[in-house]
Amino acid sequence: MDNGADISAEAPVTVAGIDCGTNSIRLKISEVRPDGTTKDIVPRLLRVIRLGEDVDKNHRFSEAALQRAYTAAHEFAEVLGRHPVDGLRFVATSATRDAANRKEFEDGIESILGVRPEVIPGTEEAALSFLGATSVVPRDGLTAPYLVVDLGGGSTEMVLGGDGKSAPATKVQQAFSMNIGSVRMTERHLRHDPPTAEEIAEATADIDEHIDETFEHVPAGKARTIIGVSGTVTTMTALVLGLKEYDHSMVDGVRVRDQDVFAIDDKFLNMTRAERSTYKTIHPGRIDVVGGGALIWNRVLARISEAALADHGEGIDSFVSSDHGLLDGIVLDYGMRLLDRR
């Protein structure tokens, strides 16, 4: 979408990005400057809509899920009406890729926002997540290559960047998207409250199979720094830090030891939903799926460390938590492309 504004060569562009995933939908409106820096116009908005509810089983969006998405889109349209932009990009990911009735969803969103959702492949999702995470994470003291892990509701991406010598540290070298996420693992395996040991074992085997496949495409053992993005990662980081309520400024850029997050992940995986709901740190829309996400995060961290140990004789015992990822990449990438068109 283009509002036809007359933009000078030195002026920034104002763009909006919408990231519609399996569990949540988010809006970001920012100025993007020619030097690649950004400035948020309004605080980013997040609504948990569970668009991917039962998509893994039925391969269709339910009517209730579509209505939740449309309600959020109407709210976003009101915000955009108060903050004119030079362009808007709506990106849909895992659940929409898998839904047979995705055209109904796309038509409905277009009628509300005036822009059609772009259903991007996992490889592009991975690249945009890497761009968003590495564009803002403080790199002082961090060693390349960076491995960005974006753990979503329906899919999880692993993206390895350059070593900073033969290839820029911010340039994607290999990427792969796994068809596992917090919602999928919960619906597919963790059916009891709390999950049984057998269900956890089945989910773990499923996760490991996907990691095995990913390692055939991404040499994760070459990584020196892991950057974790997504609501699951930042929520578990907030719990490690003992925050009573979620505060993005406290979890963004923090380095967390694996052993600390392993303990927290296991604790919340084995809690009942009612027990998890007493923690204000966890968004209400994540309470029933955060255990599935925590299990994925545990296995990903452990397997990457094992691969690093095999590759260069030293495991990775920590990760950097980032509150920036796909949405930031959408906005930055789109803004720079608009600037290039001047």
CATH no. for residue 67?
Answer: 3.30.420.40
- 186 and 289 assigned to the same domain: yes
How many helices (H) and strands (E) are present in the chain, helices listed first? 13, 12
Question: Is residue 300 one of the residues assigned to a domain?
Answer: yes
Please tell me the predicted confidence (pLDDT) of residue 123.
Answer: 86
Number of domains in the chain: 2
Please tell me the predicted confidence (pLDDT) of residue 287.
Answer: 95
Please tell me the predicted confidence (pLDDT) of residue 4.
Answer: 41
What are the mean pLDDT values of the chain's consecutive 10-residue runs (342 residues total)? 49 96 95 94 94 92 97 98 97 89 97 96 90 77 92 95 92 95 96 97 98 98 96 96 95 95 97 97 95 98 97 94 94 96 84
* Alpha carbon separation from 10 to 13, 38, 84 (Å, rounded): 10, 14, 19
- 188 and 218 assigned to the same domain: yes
Please tell me the predicted confidence (pLDDT) of residue 140.
Answer: 63
State the pTM of this model: 0.91
Which among 148, 191, 71 has a CA at the least distance from the CA of 320? 148
Please tell me the predicted confidence (pLDDT) of residue 94.
Answer: 79
- 49 and 167 assigned to the same domain: no
Please work out, in degrees rounded to the nearest 5, the angle formed at the alpha carbon of residue 299 by the alpha carbons of 298 and 301: 70
- 36 and 151 assigned to the same domain: no
Please tell me the predicted confidence (pLDDT) of residue 137.
Answer: 66
- 19 and 71 assigned to the same domain: yes
d(CA 251, CA 227): 12
- 160 and 58 assigned to the same domain: no
Question: Is residue 128 one of the residues assigned to a domain?
Answer: no
Which among 252, 251, 225, 228 has a CA at the least distance from the CA of 240? 251
Helical axes 290-312 vs 258-269, angle rounded to 10°? 150
- 104 and 229 assigned to the same domain: no
- 66 and 173 assigned to the same domain: no
Tokens of 320: 């950097």
d(CA 189, CA 292): 9
Q: CB neighbours of 240 closer than 8 A, spacing ≥ 6?
A: 256, 260, 261, 264
d(CA 184, CA 111): 29
Please tell me the predicted confidence (pLDDT) of residue 2.
Answer: 42
- 148 and 107 assigned to the same domain: no
User: Residue 324, SS3?
Assistant: coil
- 102 and 184 assigned to the same domain: no
Domain that holds residue 39: 13-122
Q: How many CA atoms lie within 13 A of 269 on its CB side?
A: 27
- 158 and 237 assigned to the same domain: yes
Cβ proximity of 132 and 329 under 8 Å: yes
The CATH number for 153's domain is 3.30.420.150
Please tell me the predicted confidence (pLDDT) of residue 241.
Answer: 97
